[in-house]
A and B are shown apart, each in its own frame.
Chain A
Amino acid sequence: MTPSLTPGQALASIAVMALVTFLTRALPFLLFDHGDHPPRIILYLGQVLPPAVIAMLIVYCLKGVTFSTPAGWVPALVAGLAAVVLHLWRHNDLISIFGATILYMVLVQSVFA
């Protein structure tokens, strides 16, 4: 597959990702290193936002699912359920992620190809 961005555009994207990621990690030190207390609303959002954002990202990941043919939704449903079941069963991130991904790859490459 050929990238849709020029190398320069890709570098710019990566630079933005790097800068923003660093900012989210460094801001608490820059803002609150002098004994100031962070606003309560930030602490509150820091607690409730992560599970909401992860749920948002799961829906985002599944945005390509279509229901016109079984191939459009069965692999994602089966592999997604496998990730949940594997994780509840073994509590091991790697087994859950790799098990589900390999299952998905087999389904889209062989079963629903």
Chain B
Amino acid sequence: MNRKAIAAAFPVTIPVLMGYLAIGVAFGLMLQSIGYSAPWAVLMSLVIYAGSGQYLGVSLLAMGAPLTQVALMTFIVNFRHLVYGLSLLEKFHGMGARKFYMMFSLTDETYALLSSARPPEGIPARDFYFWVSLLNQSYWIAGSLLGAMAGQLLGFDTTGVDFAMTALFIVIAVDQWHSYPRHLPALLGAGATLVCLLLFGAENMLLPALGVIVLVLTLARPVLDMSPAKKGAEAP
């Protein structure tokens, strides 16, 4: 009954298939390198389902972070999702029980596809959106499982694989540098964190860094807030 919707959704998701398999494999490898085997990787990709969030999660598990820090860091790294939903309110309207899954599965890539892709003629839009989301998560879970199993079975030296997290954030930063009209937020983020690293040390740097960032950005709003003039300037 849903075959047509799946057939329509699949081609749209192929770029995400490539990306999620690869980034998922790296996640599985990283998780395996800190002593968590394949079932853990699958569990995290099933219930959390967030790229940068799970990469950071590996680091939080590795250092045995207290739950309050886990909650705060997860919130910070996912804060951008707070604005994603706003532009999809209309699209998800009337999706019933599936709306719960649509909200849960709203990753960056799924958001990008749902914002831009149009369902083909004759395919109910809501079925199409649902399958785009579900297919994407299935790729992510498959990638995580592959990575964790590869780490376990092949047994190669995974020292340094955690640099995938650094590289992921660098890639996002390079993209943002091009797409954002102002560079002050990025420079502030790096500068404030560096100062907090020197002042408070590696263990306690993040909370003060985030506080300074939010405070300065709030104070700088008259300079930086250009949303009424340029509505199209929002980042993807």
Q: Which residues of A contact B (CB under 8 A)?
A: 1-5, 9-10, 12-18, 20-29, 32-33, 38, 40-64, 75-76, 79-80, 83-84, 87-88, 93-94, 96-98, 100-101, 104-105, 107-109
- A45 proximity list for chain B (CB < 8 A): 79, 214, 217-218
Instruction: Report the separation of the CA atoms of residues A23 and B192 in the bound assembly, to the nearest whole angstrom.
Output: 27
Task: Kindly name the residue among B34, B84, B160, B217 whose own CB sees the greatest number of chain A CB atoms within 10 A.
Answer: B160
18 new A-B contacts, CB < 8 A, other than A53-B213, A84-B170, are: A3-B61, A14-B43, A17-B48, A17-B50, A17-B53, A20-B74, A21-B48, A21-B74, A26-B104, A29-B85, A41-B218, A44-B225, A44-B227, A49-B217, A53-B189, A60-B205, A83-B171, A88-B174
Residues of A within 8 A of B221 (CB): 41, 44
Please tell me if B153 contacts chain A, counting CB pairs below 8 Å: no
Q: Is the CB of A43 within 8 A of B170?
A: no
Please measure, in the bound complex, the distance between the C-alpha atom of A84 and the C-alpha atom of B169, giving whole angstroms.
10
CB neighbours (8 Å) of A18 from chain B are 47-48
On whether the beta carbons of A56 and B193 are closer than 8 Å, the reply is yes
A-B pairs under 8 A by CB, number = 275
Count of B interface residues, CB-CB < 8 Å: 98
Structural contact, B234 and A47, CB atoms closer than 8 A: yes
* Contact A1 B167, beta carbon cutoff 8 Å: no
Q: Hey, which chain A residues are within 8 Å of B49, CB to CB? A: 21
Is the beta-carbon distance between B81 and A25 smaller than 8 angstroms?
yes
The 3 tightest CB contacts between A and B, nearest first, are A28-B85, A55-B189, A52-B189
Residues in A neighbouring B209, C-beta threshold 8 A: 56, 59
Q: A33, A55, A97: which has the most chain B beta carbons within 10 Å?
A: A55
When chains A and B are docked, how far (Å) is the Cα of A64 from the Cα of B218? 30
Are B160 and A105 interface neighbours, CB within 8 A? yes
Interface presence of B86 (CB below 8 A): yes
Q: A residues within 8 A CB of B50?
A: 17, 21
- Does B152 interact with chain A (Cβ within 8 Å)? no
Interface SS of A by simple majority: helix
Instruction: State whether A13 touches B61 (Cβ < 8 A).
Output: yes
Query: Does any Cβ of A come within 8 Å of B173's Cβ?
Result: yes
Alpha-carbon gap, A83 to B165, bound state (A)? 11
Which A residues are CB-close (under 8 A) to B48?
Answer: 14, 17-18, 21
Q: Which residue of B lies closest to A58 (CB)?
A: B169
**B57 beta carbon closer than 8 Å to chain A:** yes
B196-231 interface mask toward A, CB cutoff 8 Å, 1 = contact, 0 = none?
Answer: 010000100110011001100110010011010000
Q: Is the CB of B194 within 8 A of A80?
A: no
Do A54 and B82 form a contact, CB below 8 Å, given A10-B36, A33-B89? no
Interface: B117 (CB within 8 A): no
Evaluate contact between A79 and B82: CB separation under 8 angstroms.
Answer: no
Q: A49-B213, A58-B173 are in contact. Are A21 and B78 (CB under 8 A)?
A: yes
Q: Does B60 contact A (CB under 8 A)?
A: yes
- Determine the distance from Cα of A28 to Cα of B75 in the docked complex, in whole angstroms: 14
